[in-house]
Amino acid sequence: MKQNLLLSLLFAGLLALGACGTGSNKKNTSNSEAMLKSETKPNMLSSEEVDEGWILLFNGKNFDGWRGYGRKDVPAAWSIEDDAIKINGSGEGEAGAKDGGDIIYDQQFKNFELHFEWKVSKGGNSGVFYLGQEVENQPIWRSSPEYQILDNENHVDARLGKDNNRMSASLYDMIPATPQNSKPYGEWNTGAIIVYKGTVVHMQNDEVVLEYHLWTPEWEQMIENSKFKGWQEMINAGGENRQGYIGLQDHGDDVWFRSIKIKRMD
């Protein structure tokens, strides 16, 4: 009996030591997770990203670095809401903008990797432009490929075009995003655009969804088969220097963007 009691006490002590060890590991794990979260929260760069040369295009607080396309200020329809850039939609599509219009980051980029997060309101529509040229009396979408931003379930554009090439993350009206893995309206999605010596990649929610190459016969054929038929500005995307602006589209709907960051690959 006494021997059994001693064995029980010894076993209980070993369990207690094990519990202490497990608790310590949990604490260390929690601290590591907290540090990771603190480095990767919206509109911040991790130390690794800083070392790799990433730069933020939006600081979560103001429009530093941004301006309206074809103007020096930011249109009043754009605001900062919940640490995100928001276009406050007119509800009347592109034609209804009141002091709205597209905005651009006031630097040009050539070879780069761009990451961003986006979400839309119900039935929301927008886009991310790249290699855009700023030409007087001409909208940015005349010269710029577009990464489509869309509520696929509720916006009519998802049913237009060909083979779903107007759904989110598609090269608008030219190449559909496959797989189509966007989240419902009101939820944050991640997007990425890589441009390197003419090769372009779109990503959505951490998956590659399309790839193509600019300035090739195939590129010209895609344009010929799209709504951009005959547009030399689109054929020559990036202009003579093969570089251009990053832009966010005002399509008349509420849309949010955050964690916009870029790494030059020149």
Q: Peptide bond before 145: cis, by omega within 30 degrees of 0?
A: no
Nearest residue to 101 via CA among 251, 234, 245: 251
Confidence of residue 9 (pLDDT cuts 50, 70, 90): very low
Over 90: is that where the pLDDT of 183 sits?
Answer: yes
Over 50: is that where the pLDDT of 254 sits?
Answer: yes
Cβ atoms of 169 and 210 closer than 8 Å: yes
pLDDT at site 78: 97
Confidence of residue 40 (pLDDT cuts 50, 70, 90): low
Over 70: is that where the pLDDT of 52 sits?
Answer: yes
Most confident range (mean pLDDT) of 5-19, 34-48, 100-114 is 100-114
Sign of dihedral through CA atoms 41, 44, 48, 53? positive
Over 80: is that where the pLDDT of 14 sits?
Answer: no
| Phi and psi, residue 193, nearest 5° | -130, 125
pLDDT at site 95: 60
Confidence of residue 93 (pLDDT cuts 50, 70, 90): confident
Instruction: Dump strand ranges (E) for the chain.
Output: 55-56, 66-68, 78-81, 84-87, 103-109, 112-120, 125-132, 146-150, 189-196, 199-204, 207-213, 244-248, 255-264
Q: Which residues contact 195 (CB under 8 A, 6 or more apart)?
A: 109, 110, 111, 112, 130, 131
Q: What does pTM read for this prediction?
A: 0.85
**Parallel, antiparallel, or unpaired: how do β-strands 112-120 and 125-132 relate?**
unpaired
- Better pLDDT: 4 or 56: 56
